[in-house]
Amino acid sequence: MSSSNSISVRRVPVPVRQPIGRWLRESRSGLVGLAVLIGAGAGLGAIVFRWLITTFTHLFSGQADYADAGRAAHPWFPELGPWFLLLAPVVAGLIYGPLVYKFAPEARGHGVPEVMYAVAERGGRIPAQVSAVKALASALTIGSGGSVGREGPIVQIGSALGSTLGRITKLPESRLRVLVACGAAGGIAATFNAPLAGPFFAMELILRDFAAESFGAVVLASVTASVVGRAAFGNTPFLDLPPFTLRNPVEYLLFVVLGVVVGACGVLFTRVLYRIEDFCDWVWRGPEWLRPAVGGLFLGGLLLLLPQMYGVGYPVLQNAVEGKYVIGFLLLLLVGKIVATSLTIGIGGSGGVFAPSLFIGAMGGTAFGIVVHAWLPSLTASPGVYGLIGMGAAFAGAARAPITAVIVLFELTGQYTIILPMLTAIVIATATSRTLSRDTIYTLKLRRRGVDLDRHPQERRLAATMIESVAEPLPEPLPAGTPLERAAHALAVSGHGILPVTDEQGRYQGCVTAQAVAEALGDDHDGTVGDLAELPPLVTCETSLADALTALTNAPGTGLPVLDGDHQLTGWLTHQAVLSALARQ
């Protein structure tokens, strides 16, 4: 007798490690890790960028900030006096003009629209070299006297960093867009010492939504960048202003008026900016790489007349809010800043429009405050309060980002006591901007390219397709005198449930639907289709496919006639035609 012993072996499952690439692409913790890394990189980028601006400002002007130097001569060339201002923008233009033209044309201008376009249309893809080129070009522009801000460049620098890291790790487009926003938020937070403003700027202007996962990643990037920035710049508000207080609740009515006036100034800034840019495009006929140098002569001439326009101009802004300028000079500075910033960008310079909008608001708000304080001295606060609130109102009027405007102003100034009047003026300025203009200072640049960010991406692609490219042959129209029995048969055969109706001369009279004919026959109506013809939503050859899709949705049948410029029938549009166009795209 033989016996056999069977031994059962229990297999213990071995945990399979998730590949790091998949962890980064799919897990929330992977997104968090990347957000922190991008925040640290954006913080370091902001430190380098501000150092470059300081270095080039010293190099080209001999001052830490020439805007408040009062036409001082360059210490290296004292014999030139203030006339060196004619040469500084030219020399800088000869350096950054070819740099931008050859390596990163996206670096030209104020930057934020390019990031918005990359997020909306290109899945968040920004060329890696944009960071370096934008930093050098913007620092040269500002350091040599260009009257632009730092926020546009740092947003583009941080966003390019986020995009590059996302593409290296092969993230899907949805997460790549979030990393672009993380870079933008980190740049804003570090350069302005504003950890709250960074996330709201990125969510309100770059991503244009407040999804929970995106917001969490953007906040982490902003906090990380702010910690890095504070290690270099310290933990103090960006502007050092005295405390302001309100005197009387009646002032809230004045803040409403301030919101209207300064919000309109923000819209004016937008329109002048693109008018001057168009004028520069129309005038210039030479090579693009030379344009900043030649245009720099005109910018230098403006700086000779008004040296307060040199660079970002924060010392001048602070002097205005502290009450050191009279009303006439404040208005001169307001107009000068609009023209100087527009000219700097128009000649091909690189820099932002956020700081100029704050400058414009400070000048306009302080001038408004001087007027009302002289009129009602016992009821109104000092003019500086109106200047401070005007800063947020001008940005809201130009960019139409009220949440960002409130938080940015609070963090830049550290003034919590005026938060309620600031909210009042900023909301009114935003409403004024919507009334006066369809676009903001950022979206107008894209709309001029045919990009409407208010539309869904698929709808934007449809908007570029005209009806004439997808229209089908016109079905046989029904003469207005056709009896209802014959019309019912024709409608049943057509399969559209709707057919066009023409008069004796063949002119379009409207459409008749199968439902209307069936109801008339049920009521023993003895008329013709001309009695039942109705005008459906109008679709012409120039109508975009996006607008035609809306018309089709509201149409009573499954098709609509297409009319030419003389309102003659020329084709037929159906849902199938729209679906075919979508499939091709």
- The predicted-structure confidence for 167-204, as pLDDT tens digits, reads as follows 888 888 788 888 999 999 998 888 888 888 889 888 88
Tokens of 503: 């008069």
pLDDT value at residue 20: 58
Q: Is 191 exposed, middle or buried (0-12, 13-18, 19+ CB in 10 A)?
A: buried
The sign of the CA dihedral 410, 412, 417, 421 is negative
Distance CA 356, CA 370 (A): 21
Considering only 223-227, 301-305, 370-374, 507-511, which range has the smallest mean pLDDT? 507-511
Which SS3 state, helix, strand or coil, does residue 86 take? helix
CA dist 94 and 362 (Å) reads: 33
pLDDT for 2 equals 46
Work out whether the CA dihedral 98, 102, 107, 110 comes out positive or negative: positive
Q: Provide the percentage of residues in the chain whose pLDDT is more than 70.
A: 90
* Region 311-338 average pLDDT: 92
Calpha distance 300→424 (Å, rounded): 39
Helices (H), 27-125: 28-61, 88-103, 112-121
| Contact assessment for residue 505 and residue 493, using Cβ atoms and an 8 Å cutoff | no
Residue with tokens 């998949």: 22
DSSP tally for the chain: helices H, then strands E: 24, 5
Buried b vs exposed e over 410-419: b needs ≥16 C-beta within 10 Å?
bbbbebeebe
Are 573 and 552 in contact by the 8 Å Cβ rule? The answer is: yes
Q: What residues are paired with 499 via a beta bridge?
A: 512
Mean local confidence (pLDDT), 287-303: 93
**Residue listed under structure tokens 């399979």:** 16
553 class by beta-carbon count within 10 Å (0-12 exposed, 13-18 middle, 19+ buried):
exposed
| pLDDT, position 16 | 44
Residue 230's nearest CA partner among 200, 194, 196, 202 is 194
pLDDT band of residue 268 (cuts 50, 70, 90) is: very high
Q: Is the pLDDT of residue 96 over 70?
A: yes
Using CA atoms, how far apart are residues 39 and 217, in angstroms rounded to an integer? 10
Q: Could you count the other beta carbons within 10 Å of the beta carbon of residue 175?
A: 21
State residue 511 phi and psi, 5-degree precision: -135, 155
The residue type found at 578 is V
Q: Classify the C-alpha dihedral 43-44-45-47 as positive or negative.
A: positive
Q: For tokens 């001048």, what's the residue?
A: 316
CA distance from start to end of the chain: 80
The CA-based dihedral angle spanning residues 378, 384, 386, 391, taken in that order and rounded to the nearest 10 degrees? -170
Q: Tell me how far apart the alpha carbons of residues 32 and 22 are, in angstroms, rounded to a whole number.
A: 14
Whether residue 6 has pLDDT greater than 60: no
Q: Which domains does the chain have, with CATH numbers?
A: 21-233 (1.10.3080.10), 251-287+302-454 (1.10.3080.10), 462-584 (3.10.580.10)
Structure tokens at 416: 């919590």
The CA distance from 53 to 376, in Å, is 43
Contact (Cβ atoms closer than 8 angstroms) between residue 540 and residue 517: no
Pure H helices in 144-250: 151-168, 173-192, 197-201, 212-233
35 and 184 in contact (C-beta within 8 Å)?
Answer: no
Give the pLDDT of residue 434: 92
This model's pTM is above 0.85: no
Lowest mean pLDDT among 73-87, 108-122, 341-355: 108-122
Radius of gyration of the chain (CA): 31
- Is the four-CA dihedral 266, 271, 273, 276 of positive or negative sign? negative
Which of 214-218, 460-464, 568-572 shows the lowest per-residue confidence on average (mean pLDDT)?
A: 460-464
DSSP code of 544?
A: B
Contact 580, 549 (CB under 8 A): no
The residues, any chain, with a CB within 8 Å of residue 377's CB and separated by 6 or more, are none
